[in-house]
Amino acid sequence: MTILSNILNILITILVFFVIILIHEMGHFLTAKAFGMKIYEFSIGMGPRLFSKTTKTTTWSFKLLPIGGSVQLGEDFESDDPNDFRNKPVWQRMIVIVAGAVMNLILGFAVCLVSICSDEYIATTRISKFAENSVSSQVMQVGDEIVEMDGMTIWTTMDVSYCLQNKALNIDEQAQTAYISMTILRGGERVALSVPFRYLTQRTDTDLPGIKVDFMVEPQVKDPFTVTAAAGKMFLTETRLIWISLRDILTGTYGINDLSGPVGVVTTMASALEQSIKLMSFSSFLLIIALITINLGVFNLLPIPALDGARFVFLLIEAIRRKPIPPEKEGLVHFIGFAALMLLTLVVTFNDIMKLISPQ
């Protein structure tokens, strides 16, 4: 039964992953259609075709490797057809290029909205009570609203958790107390505090090693306005976490072994789905889906060759100089970028598989 449930969880996760990719490609497809562009191929996946169907204007393909998709608009060659991508106004091409990422961001907000709706109430960042033997209550009070931690603006309880976890990674393991710089709203005024938290060096029956959260927050009644606002805050939280992760990768805080590819993503999502089924609460699983689709949208907007962000930069240069860059030169840049991304994907996927074989 466990094996069957694991297989089912993985299949559901893969389906979700494909839907995220499909939404991205539909963004390109629908905007291209709206501008009357000729669409040569719409494909999900990469590599050899598993099967395809050709209509009057488009080939619909399903490919072997579930790591992406594409909408072929003929942007890599010149033609006399007025409906080809390169013969359309540059502003229309810009919209088509960014539409996929925008669709992912919209989907991310929608999933955050569904996640908030699935919870019984909305968690605020206002303290409602302290646990027994609380340490943070030495300086904080019931009714305090957390607005900043270690200089980071706090929008959600996920922000609070991130700051505490981040602090735990940069503290002397021999310490028993961790101090965090916080700004709180108290009686309508901003107050700066240095808040102590108990630092656990060993696992207990109820806590993992790290900083112990010793307070609870007030719930907020759900209505259309509070739900929308909470979904917006969660969207901003997840988007910021992605940018922080990108920064940490570029600065060397995280290495290539800390990255996850398609195998790692599917494994994590399947594990989260299994846990959600046990708890009969799917908000955490939905937030992981939101994080992945937002990540896809943000990553695709980066000016990396072969990604939509780099294609947008080439179009921006064309709009400024009023002359397109030769397609063979642009194609070479994207080919090099694509090859580098595929190499990175292979390395990360190999690491994901090795982690499954040898979790330690």
Q: 202 and 271 share a domain?
A: no
What pLDDT is attached to residue 65?
72
Active site residues: 25
Local confidence band at 1 (pLDDT 50, 70, 90 cut-offs): very low
Q: 126 and 55 share a domain?
A: no
Please identify, among 197, 220, 243, the residue that sits at the C-terminal boundary of a domain.
220
Q: 341 and 249 share a domain?
A: yes
Query: Mind spelling out the 3-state secondary structure of the chain?
Result: CHHHHHHHHHHHHHHHHHHHHHHHHHHHHHHHHHCCCCCCEEEEEEEEEEEEEECCCCEEEEEEEEEEEEEECCCCCCCCCCCCHHHCCHHHHHHHHHHHHHHHHHHHHHHHHHHHHHCCCEEEEEEEEECCCCCHHHCCCCCCEEEEECCEECCCHHHHHHHHHHHHHCCCCCCCEEEEEEEEEECCEEEEEEEEEEEECCCCCCCCCEECCCEEEEEECCCHHHHHHHHHHHHHHHHHHHHHHHHHHHCCCCCHHHCCCHHHHHHHHHHHHHHHHHHCCCHHHHHHHHHHHHHHHHHHCCCCCCCHHHHHHHHHHHHHHCCCCCHHHHHHHHHHHHHHHHHHHHHHHHHHHHHHHCCC
Q: 262 and 344 share a domain?
A: yes
Q: 270 and 350 share a domain?
A: yes
Q: 225 and 208 share a domain?
A: no
Local confidence band at 309 (pLDDT 50, 70, 90 cut-offs): very high
* Average pLDDT value for the chain: 84
Please identify, among 220, 237, 263, the residue that sits at the C-terminal boundary of a domain.
220
Please identify, among 220, 236, 255, the residue that sits at the C-terminal boundary of a domain.
220
pTM comes to: 0.85
Tell whether the model's pLDDT for residue 342 goes beyond 70.
yes
Q: 114 and 239 share a domain?
A: yes
Tell whether the model's pLDDT for residue 165 goes beyond 90.
no
Q: 116 and 203 share a domain?
A: no
Tell whether the model's pLDDT for residue 170 goes beyond 70.
no
The pair of structure tokens assigned to 203 is 């696992």
Q: Which residue has the tokens 């590819």?
A: 261
Q: What is the CATH number of the domain that holds 203?
A: 2.30.42.10
Give the count of domains, the chain.
2
Q: 137 and 203 share a domain?
A: yes
What pLDDT is attached to residue 206?
47
Q: 140 and 206 share a domain?
A: yes
Q: 2 and 109 share a domain?
A: yes
Local confidence band at 5 (pLDDT 50, 70, 90 cut-offs): low
Q: 96 and 202 share a domain?
A: no
Establish how many alpha carbons lie within 13 A of residue 220's alpha carbon, considering only the half-sphere containing its beta carbon: 19
Range of the domain at 193: 122-220
Per-residue pLDDT tens digits for 8-31: 777 777 788 888 989 999 999 999
